[in-house]
């Protein structure tokens, strides 16, 4: 897809490249953190994929797709085909999403809603490797965000993603969801990115519409079935444990 230069995307051999020169990115993916790069990538992995040498694997995939392989570029991995990726643009913000729910992560709100499937954090890490299902979002703004505002853009995007997924699937996310957020350090500077700002409002709209469209693309072809519960999903977890609640004043 090409447009006005605001985070254009190119798809090749199972890789989606989201491009804008000299973007500062903040990623929650496997090679996450802050970095400056001309692109971020969303890479589809095949069924049964079990590679653990992720840096070498990513280099192979990007080279095979005809893209440069800068080590500083943020990369997300997913079991969803990039043909099902969808983008949305609003104001200064562009977002791209892939969405598959083979590994839902349920969060029961009441004791009687708890699933019989109960995994601790160690089980999630060992039994649900990256790439099964996953809802990945790459979002960027042409504004220049203060450091806290870039971090908050991830929070805004995650909230919009969870809200959309709850409405469309009944799950707030999957065990392997990830977000990459970017901004243009040379753009018009803004201090905040919350839901009440232009950037935050645009981000919410873009993530909602991109995730909804990505879900439709993935599940409306008849090749995939949206699970109705964790028990019906190939993979997934339900956080059934209960934390101890206390007043901070009583913890002194």
All domains of the chain in start order, with CATH? 8-222 (3.60.70)
State the sign of the Cα–Cα–Cα–Cα dihedral 227, 231, 237, 243.
positive
Q: Is the pLDDT at 245 greater than 70, yes or no?
A: yes
Rounded-to-integer distance, Cα 146 and Cα 139, Å: 16
Percent with pLDDT over 90 in the chain: 77
Length of the chain as a residue count: 252
Give residue for tokens 């519409």: 209
Pick from 207, 177, 48: nearest CA to 107:
177
- More confident of the two residues 183 and 121: 183
Mean pLDDT within 228-247: 91
The pLDDT of residue 34: 96
- Per the CB < 8 A criterion, the answer to whether 80 and 42 are in contact is no
Q: Is the pLDDT at 120 greater than 70, yes or no?
A: no
State the sign of the Cα–Cα–Cα–Cα dihedral 116, 29, 80, 170.
positive
Rounded-to-integer distance, Cα 68 and Cα 12, Å: 12
- More confident of the two residues 207 and 222: 207
- Per the CB < 8 A criterion, the answer to whether 224 and 100 are in contact is yes
Range with the poorest average pLDDT among 4-8, 70-74, 129-133, 192-196: 129-133
SS3 251: helix
Rounded-to-integer distance, Cα 136 and Cα 132, Å: 12
End-to-end CA separation in angstroms for the chain: 56
Percent with pLDDT over 70 in the chain: 88
Q: Is the pLDDT at 213 greater than 80, yes or no?
A: yes
pTM, to two decimals: 0.90
The pLDDT of residue 47: 82
Pick from 137, 157, 139, 152: nearest CA to 191:
152
- Per the CB < 8 A criterion, the answer to whether 24 and 183 are in contact is yes
Mean pLDDT within 29-54: 92
């Amino acid at each position: 897809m090409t447009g006005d230069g605001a985070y254009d995307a190119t798809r090749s051999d199972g890789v989606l490249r989201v491009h804008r020169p000299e973007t500062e990115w903040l990623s929650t993916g496997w090679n996450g953190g802050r970095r400056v790069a001309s692109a971020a990538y969303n890479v589809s992995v095949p069924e049964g994929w079990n590679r653990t040498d992720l840096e070498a694997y990513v280099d192979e995939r990007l080279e095979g797709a005809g893209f440069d392989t800068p080590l500083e570029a943020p990369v997300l991995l997913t079991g969803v085909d990039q043909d099902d990726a969808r983008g949305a643009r609003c104001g200064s913000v562009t977002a791209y999403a892939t969405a598959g729910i083979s590994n839902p992560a349920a969060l029961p709100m009441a004791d009687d809603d708890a699933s019989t499937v109960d995994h601790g954090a160690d089980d999630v890490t060992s039994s649900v490797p990256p790439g099964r299902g996953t809802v990945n979002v790459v979002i960027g703004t042409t504004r220049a965000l203060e450091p806290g505002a870039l971090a908050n853009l991830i929070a805004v995007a995650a909230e919009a993603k969870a809200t959309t997924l709850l409405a469309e699937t009944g799950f707030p996310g999957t065990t392997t969801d990830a977000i990459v957020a970017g901004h243009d350090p040379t753009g018009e500077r803004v201090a905040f990115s919350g839901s009440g700002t232009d950037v935050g409002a645009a981000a919410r709209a873009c993530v909602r519409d991109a995730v909804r469209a990505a879900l439709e693309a993935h599940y409306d072809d008849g090749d995939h079935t949206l699970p109705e519960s964790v028990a019906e999903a190939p993979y997934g977890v339900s956080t059934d444990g209960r934390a101890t609640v206390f007043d901070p004043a009583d913890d002194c």
